[in-house]
Amino acid sequence: MTTLHHEILIIGAGTAGITVAARLKHRDPKADVALIDPAEWHYYQPAWTLVGAGTYNYENTRRPMRSVIPKGVTWYQDAVAAFDPDHNRLTTRDGREISYDYLVVCPGIKIDPTLVEGLAEVLDKDDVISVYTDPKFAWEKIRSFKGGTALFTQPTTPIKCGGAPQKIMYLADDYWRKAGVRDQSTIVFATPGTVIFGVPEFRATLEKVLDRKDIMVKFYHELVRVDGANKVAWYHIKAAAVEDPAKQVRNPKPIEEEWVGNDMVGIHYDLMHLAPPQTAPDFVRNSKLVCEEGPQKGWVCVDEHTLQHKQYPNVFSLGDVAGLPTAKTGAAVRKQAPVVVENLMRLRSGRTDLWAGYNGYSSCPLVTGYGKMVLAEFAYGNKRASDPLISKFVDTTKENYSMWLLKKYGLPFMYWNLMLKGRA
Ligand SMILES: Cc1cc2nc3c(=O)[nH]c(=O)nc-3n(C[C@H](O)[C@H](O)[C@H](O)COP(=O)(O)OP(=O)(O)OC[C@H]3O[C@@H](n4cnc5c(N)ncnc54)[C@H](O)[C@@H]3O)c2cc1C
């Protein structure tokens, strides 16, 4: 087999891969950069929540992959099958062997419904929906809901855009009020979390939203099984809350539930929306690139600030697959990409002093209804990190119409025209 070679090889042409490739080409138009990605389409996933609420056209969330590959970058429409970082090479599904001087690993996240018993059988069918997997179907079901218990939930694994499971709930609530079915419905949000949002400044606003919308929240609830035939979602209650049921609930309501002992509860649903369980893709998890232990076990093992691999100095990772203690979002990628590019530039010019420039920045545009949004920006340690310029004009801890306009129009424009072009 002939081995192909590129100076910088990027795995995954999603948000991270395209942004890094474009920035590299700006820094050095002569750099030999290649991308590997099997996908026909590139997606702007942040708009899927709006698609699920009937306020954004799904077709506008995607563009042909070819149209976003930066000029001068080689694209292999192929999938990586296995890494061999000890020999600076990898193999692909179509039988290529490609070696590299520098590797950037960003193939995103794998959605794995099989990690919750019974879920794969019912997801995106009948009454179990997800904006993560089929936002158009989610909208069909939300639009035609006639009342009953609407259960919104999320898994115990890390997920991309941790706010999406509640954003779609706030939008559904708003829609059902306008459609006149909210009075016949109970909305329940069941989460393994212990609070509605990690950053106190934004949590306070969201708690008011939950109370205003009269949404029942169940904390400490770990989804373990979905009984699709009987429409029951089964949860294990985390030990910390078993002895203290008051901790488990905000805005209690009479709902149909079944207890087994004091730490298993089945909640009946008429419609369930969930973020399915998520992991690193298999070819990454089975490689030497992942952390073998600790909180980032199973994710690519990189330094939190330089994004350089902890064992392989010529390897970097960013985006959803990177093992970083912050929220997995496109907004995080926007701040990670310049760090990866700067550090690649330093290494290839012989420097070893890397820029520890990533502070864990991530952001969650928390849509709380049609025309309302709270822009949560934060860094490592759940510290608020709101943009100083935006904050001059808007209190981003509060619901705002201007932030909704940013979400619906401003951010998609910025994504396609600036970020993917390496200019933002
Ligand atoms: C419903 C939803 C709402 C969201 N809302 C927001 C939001 O409001 N704000 C925000 O900032 N972020 C949001 N996100 C998250 C954001 O979309 C992701 O964090 C971001 O896309 C991560 O970029 P990435 O490049 O790591 O992964 P992706 O953009 O997912 O790209 C991964 C790429 O890797 C490719 N790939 C997979 N396997 C292989 C392989 N074997 N070989 C080669 N290539 C491979 C895929 O084809 C894909 O093109 C949301 C996501 C969802 C699903």
User: Among the atoms of ligand 1, which is closest to the Cα of residue 331?
Assistant: 11
| CATH number of the domain encompassing residue 227 | 3.50.50.60
pLDDT band at 2 (very low <50, low <70, confident <90, very high): confident
Q: How many CB atoms lie within 10 A of CB 163?
A: 23
**Which residue, of 250, 277, 304, is where some domain finishes?**
277
Distance from residue 280's CA to the centre of ligand 1 (Å): 11
Main-chain dihedrals φ then ψ at residue 408, nearest 5 degrees: -80, -35
Report the domain count for the chain: 2
> Is 364 annotated as catalytic?
yes
Report the mean per-residue pLDDT for the chain: 97
pTM recorded for the entire structure:
0.97
pLDDT band at 240 (very low <50, low <70, confident <90, very high): confident
Is pLDDT larger for residue 202 or for residue 3? 202
267 and 126 housed in the same domain: yes
| Statement: residue 247 has pLDDT above 90 | no
Atom 27 of ligand 1, nearest CA residue: 108
Residue 324, amino acid: L
**Which residue, of 299, 324, 358, is where some domain finishes?**
358
Range of the domain at 74: 3-109+280-358
243 and 149 housed in the same domain: yes
| Within-domain flag for 345 | yes
Distance from residue 45's CA to the centre of ligand 1 (Å): 7
264 and 329 housed in the same domain: no
The mean-pLDDT minimum among 228-237, 247-256, 314-323 falls in 247-256
> Is 161 annotated as catalytic?
yes
Atom 19 of ligand 1, nearest CA residue: 329
375-384 per-position pLDDT tens digit:
999 999 999 9
| Statement: residue 337 has pLDDT above 90 | yes
pLDDT band at 392 (very low <50, low <70, confident <90, very high): confident
The closest of 26, 77, 4, 15 to 344, measured between CA atoms, is 26
172 and 209 housed in the same domain: yes
Cα–Cα distance between 198 and 11 in angstroms, integer?
31
Q: Where are the beta strands (DSSP E) in 253-399?
A: 257-260, 264-268, 271-274, 278-279, 315-317, 362-369, 372-379, 383-384
Cα–Cα distance between 255 and 38 in angstroms, integer?
45
Distance from residue 249's CA to the centre of ligand 1 (Å): 32
215 and 308 housed in the same domain: no
DSSP-derived letter for residue 2 is P
Distance from residue 330's CA to the centre of ligand 1 (Å): 7
Ligand 1 contact via 283 beta carbon (within 6 Å): yes
| Statement: residue 368 has pLDDT above 90 | yes
Ligand 1 contact via 162 beta carbon (within 6 Å): no
